[in-house]
Structure 1
Amino acid sequence: MKRRKGIQTLEARQEPWDFVIIGGGATGLGCAVEAAARGYDTLLLEMHDFAKATSSRSTKLVHGGVRYLEQGNISLVIEALDERSILQENAPHLVRSLSFVVPNYKWWEGPYYGIGMKVYDLLAGRQNLGRSEHLNREETLNHLPTIDPEGLRGGGLYYDGQFDDARMAVNMAQTAAEQGGVLLNYMKVTDLTKTNGVVDGVVAECQETGTEFEIEARSVINATGIFTDTVRHMDDPAAPSTLRPSRGTHIVLDKSFLPGESAIMIPKTDDGRVLFAIPWNDRVVVGTTEAEVDEVSLEPKPGHDELKFLIEHAQRYLVNDPGPEDVLSIFAGIRPLVAPPNGTNADTAEISREHQLNISDSGLVTISGGKWTTYRKMAEDTINEAALDAELEERPSTTRHLNLHGWHEHPEKYGDLAPYGSDALALQQLMDEEPELADPLDDRLPICGAQGGWAVRHEMAQTAAEQGGVLLNYMKVTDLTKT
């Protein structure tokens, strides 16, 4: 995956692309994989790093969404569980099963949450990652040795998926390129072009050289996440806003606060949200919050109240009482939630995570909402409708059984390099040939020089922040500096 080669292909292009996809997060990359795998001429343009915004700031879960059961959104749970299974099959080097424990402190919590877990098992069917079960007090403490034991009655155990969002995004970009797509980061779309009122391309500017490109397309797909309305207003300045963005913040703690291999799921916080404490990269990620925001940005700043909320809940459940001084790092992302119909002023925590597909009168295709777990289904729906609208040849989806770049049947054999899957052997050989490349880039980061070089040579990394498979995202969830 070479950026320079992509630029050359773009410059030499004489015919319109079948699809120009704006946005290089989970949704846009999913659309690029979907379109390219069907054989359509596909170009993706991302104004910054791939997965720069929301897609690299998740809770690192591929899950059906236990919370959605309580909301009665059974169809979303079923769809997400199906997509979870597909992801685990297509990217076993990035997706793994993780055990979750719901601690019970009240007499009714065991049977209440136990019923929900059994329904979750039932909906997953043969795709289940493990059967849920009731844990007594001792078993709960074995799974969660640092959980507050005072008043603890027991717990509920269930299984869901965990994944590396940053590596997933990089591998999706590589997969799209291998299928014949062209993907360019640091290429910002500044306008749409129209002929007789119909969108027929984009104007894009290279963020490195300032060079402007006018690019023709049979269909333009707006998959820009939190910037969805910005692109829609390029099409129609009077278009109403469609998003209700909310900020989700996570804190990162030392592994000693949750030394086991199980995660904690807190089913109902003071504000009615679900909260997780999850083992990740030899650290613990606690999150997330739900704070409605008026403006979106690439680098959202977490609010003081959010940090206080996370620390207080961590103290409530963990015996070691983590304080502000124990927070190793903080990361926040903005969810591109689709606003409820009829102007309903629902709390953002209650807004559906289902996706919404819209085709404007001028032909701009916009895909919004959704979540990481369902990116493939979102992309399939989008390309189906976009191809029909653009009168392109109908071609069936193949991504349900398409292995993502890096697929390996036994990635665990590569140890710390397991997330690289089939690329791990080449990385190891590089370190064997040049031993100094095996040294960490920083004592506080689990990234070595070979990974940085690999990112530059093979993963289109343009800045130090991207090296190591979007290195910045490793920095967010390990140590580096306190924020």
Structure 2
Amino acid sequence: MSDQQRSALTPAGRAEHLGRLRAATADSPLDVLVVGGGVNGAGAAFDAATRGLSVGLVETHDWASGTSSRSSKLMHGGLRYLQMLDFKLVAEALRERDLLLEHTAPHLVRPVKFVFPFFKKVVDRAFIGSGVALYDAMQSIGRKRAVPFHRHLLHEKMLEVFPGLDGDKAVGALEYYDAQMDDARFVMMLVRSAAQLDAAAANYTTVIEYLHEGEQVVGARVRDEETGEEFDVHARETILAGGVWTQEQQELAGADAGLEVLASKGIHITVARDRIPAVPDTGIITQTEKSVLFIIPWDEYWVIGTTDTPWTQDPRDVGATGEDIDYVLEHANAVLKDDLAREDVIGVYSGLRPLLQPVSKGADKGSTKVSREHTVMEVEPGLTAIAGGKYTTYRVMAEDVVDFAIKDSQPGRPSLTRTVPVIGAQGYETLVRDSQEIGRRYGFDEIRTDRLLFRYGALLSDVLALIDEDPTLGTPLEHAPRYLRAEVLYAVRAEGARHLADVLERRTRLDYETRDRGVAAADEIAALIAPELGWDEQAVRREVETYRAHIEARLAGESTSSDAEAAARISTAPEVPPTS
């Protein structure tokens, strides 16, 4: 089996991965079991696999189904942290961003340009200008720059670059670069990268109990949510990467000490690209009284956010309220020439940031490693938890947590993720050079070819091979023409999608890219993937009806005025059918 075949998260492959997890007995345990399939868990699994360790990775729902698919989709240095004088964190994030751009994930991360408007001519230009100058200078220390240097824009030039800005309010601007990515696809590619290195990875697999030998955690008992089967997975070390569910998992493990994590809700809206005129691939960043406002160019629409409010409801039921949406619109309209209205909103998505609190009492200095943004802690012997952090520094966090977890059981096994690319990177530049020929051969315009390369990198060859076998797969979806029929099939055959919502919300992004939130495309997509997943007509109907009900519940939540009301609506309609 080739490395690329080994990486494919196929329906049959999931059974094989579950079999390898099942085979991890007390006599033959895994080196590392990772609990949680967001960016931290997927990153930790990839990191451990690059060290030659035997690795298992389990996730209760779909890969990246929590916070890691609901971000601002930026890989950035964290300009706002300069205000906090956290130079070390910014330098680390910039280094990691550039590593992704230039070496480990150029197919998944690309530069994006931002305009930072000034509203006080002298004060803003001096204060913001000096901050961005320092930000840029930190990118040039000891390495070649991955993005262009910033520049100041006078009023007239600012309006040439971003004519959608309100020129009566903004007196000038600064233009600088960061990077963006598709968060859900990035996590899925990390999982595939781990699988390529023989990690056993299974989504829809829930930890229901942590195994103990005396006080030592020696793995977990898990349940396959698709069959209901329960079995034990033994491991020398277990890593908990639970995000906002960290405390819930620590309680399940019976930990006396642990990490304290609070949830903060951030929402984003999408609007059509033509509603805000600007030079291509240029966005806006500015500060609000509570958060940061991003207006980010993405495909044929804008992603606008975000909020930062405490969430005290069940993390599974996170959703936007009408007040959240109005807040984002109000702050966007404060800097835009032409106001946006509720009817301009195409889609909405909501996520929870895991905000790390001071380490719980009972933790001793030797059992904890704390940085400004993330903390690694041994919550019980054999069980190491990680929480906090930012997307851009996921690789550093993964390296930290694996280093910490194996320091006694597997010393002398260094991480290789600084040099080992994420799957799809190798061969990507060749496909980019051949992009015009690919477009001519398959009848794709430049926009579609660029989209496909950004989604798949070198793995695009696998998608094109499906079209070579069946040319009808090269046609766009009827109700979602941004995507090809082959992409839907590939989502199930290679990317681990198990349910209709997995395809609509994470392998594609139809739940916020179309006004109907992907509902019109649901029947066509379900019909395409049903044979791959062994669905009969009743199963197809159940998947479609479940997704439609879930979208209706989210829309109902968006008309409420409180988190409690929104959560109550969403709690009635999960995104995937319940296990029978």
TM-score greater than 0.5 by the shorter chain:
yes
- The residue type paired with residue 92 of structure 1 is P
Q: Which amino acid aligns with 2:203?
A: N
Distance in structure 1 (CA, Å) of the matches to 2:286 and 2:170: 15
Instruction: Give the CA deviation at 1:474.
Output: 4.3
What is the match of residue 116 of structure 2? 102
Question: Which residue of 213, 224, 230 corresponds with 2:242?
Answer: 224
Q: Read off the aligned partner of 2:429 and give its amino acid letter.
A: E
1:436 corresponds to: 472
Partner of 1:28: 41
**Structure 1 residues 329, 9: CA separation in 2 closer, same or farther (over 3 Å shift)?**
same
Question: What CA deviation, in whole Å up to 9, does each residue of 1:278-329 have, x standing for no partner?
Answer: 0112110001110111234234111333211101112122222111111101
Could you say what the CA RMSD is over the residues aligned between the two structures, in angstroms?
Answer: 2.0
**Partner secondary structure for residue 100 of structure 1:** strand
* Matching residue of 1:209: 227
Aligned residues of 2:114 and 2:285 also touching (Cα < 8 A): no
TM-superposed CA distance for 1:426, in Å, is 2.6
Alignment of 1:58-457 (within 5 A): 58-88=71-101, 89-107=103-121, 108-125=123-140, 126-236=144-254, 239=257, 242-259=260-277, 260-271=279-290, 273-340=291-358, 354-389=373-408, 391-407=409-425, 408-409=428-429, 412=432, 413=435, 414-418=449-453, 419-444=455-480, 446-457=482-493
What is the CA–CA distance in structure 1 between the aligned matches of 2:196 and 2:504, rounded to whole Å?
20
CA contact (8 A) 2:67 2:352 kept: yes
Any conservation in 2 of the 1:281–1:478 contact (CA below 8 Å)? Answer: no
* Structure 2 residue identity aligned to 1:285: V
CA distance in 2, matches of 1:339, 1:12: 37
Name the SS for the 2:429 alignment partner. Answer: coil
CA deviation after TM superposition for structure 1 residue 270, in Å? 3.0
Q: Which deviates further from its counterpart, 451-460 or 35-44? A: 451-460
Whether contact under 8 Å (1:143, 1:262) holds in the other structure is: no
Deviation at 1:239, TM superposition (A): 4.4
Check whether the contact 1:431–1:437 (CA below 8 A) recurs between aligned residues: yes
Q: Deviations over 1:178-225 (max 9, x none)?
A: 111111001000110101111111010000000001111100100011
Conserved? CA contact 1:48–1:186, under 8 Å = yes
| 2:503 partner amino acid | Q
Change over 3 Å in CA distance of 1:469–1:429 after alignment to 2 = farther
CA distance in 2, matches of 1:251, 1:433: 38
Q: Which moved more, 1:421-430 or 1:398-407?
A: 421-430
Deviations 1:80-135 (A, max 9, x none): 11111121121111111111001122212122211111000111113451101101
Q: Distance in 2 between matches of 1:90 and 1:395?
A: 20
Instruction: For 2:74 and 2:32, locate their aligned partners in 1 and report how far apart those are by CA, in whole Å.
Output: 30
Work out whether residues 81 and 127 of structure 1, in 8 Å CA contact, stay in contact via their aligned partners in 2.
no
CA–CA separation in structure 2 for the residues paired with 1:370 and 1:376: 11
| Aligned amino acid, residue 169 of structure 1 | V
Higher mean alpha-carbon deviation, 208-217 vs 240-249, is at 240-249
User: In structure 2, what is the Cα distance between the partners aligned to 1:369 and 1:387?
Assistant: 20
Q: How far off its partner does 1:340 sit?
A: 4.1
Q: Does the CA-based 8 Å contact 2:206-2:225 persist in structure 1?
A: yes
> Structure 2 vs 1, CA of residues 478 and 164 (structure 1 numbering), >3 Å: closer, same or farther?
farther
Q: Report the TM-score, using the length of structure 2 for normalisation.
A: 0.78
1:342 and 1:471 mapped to 2: Cα distance? 37
Report the CA distance shift for 1:469/1:37 in structure 2 as closer, same or farther (over 3 A): farther
What is the alpha-carbon distance in structure 2 between the residues aligned to residue 212 and residue 374 of structure 1?
A: 35
Letter in 1 for 2:131: G
1:432 positional shift: 4.0
Q: Which moved more, 1:9-18 or 1:181-190?
A: 9-18
How far apart in 1 are the matches of 2:64 and 2:58?
12
- Determine helix, strand or coil for the equivalent of 2:186: helix
Counterpart in the other structure of 2:52: 39
Q: Structure 1 pair 329/353, CA: closer, same or farther in 2 (3 Å)?
A: farther
Deviations 1:358-416 (A, max 9, x none): 00243310010011101100010111110014x22421111001111111125542422
Secondary structure, counterpart of 2:492 in structure 1:
helix
Aligned position for 1:463: 499
Deviations 1:436-470 (A, max 9, x none): 22333343452221011111111111112223792
Counting aligned pairs with the same residue, the percent is: 35
Matched residue SS, 1:399: coil
In structure 2, relative to structure 1, the CA distance for the partners of 1:422 and 1:299 (3 Å cut) is farther
Once the two structures are TM-superposed, the CA of residue 341 in structure 1 deviates from its matched residue by: 6.1
2:24 matches 1:9: no
Q: Which stretch of the first structure deviates more once superposed, 319-328 or 231-240?
A: 231-240
| Count of paired positions | 473
Structure 1 stretches of 4+ moved >6 Å: none
Distance across 2 between alignment mates of 1:131 and 1:238: 50
Aligned letter for 2:305? Answer: G
- Contact 2:74-2:180 at 8 Å conserved across structures: yes
Partners of 1:353 and 1:326 in 2: how far apart?
Answer: 39
Question: Hey, what's the Cα distance between the residues in 1 that align with 2:16 and 2:195?
Answer: 11
Q: Secondary structure at the match of 1:381?
A: helix
- Which letter maps to 1:440? P
Residues 255, 379 of structure 2: 8 Å contact kept: no
Report the residue type matching 2:416 in the other structure. Answer: T
1:475 aligns with 2:511: yes
- Which residue of 1 is the match for residue 576 of structure 2? none
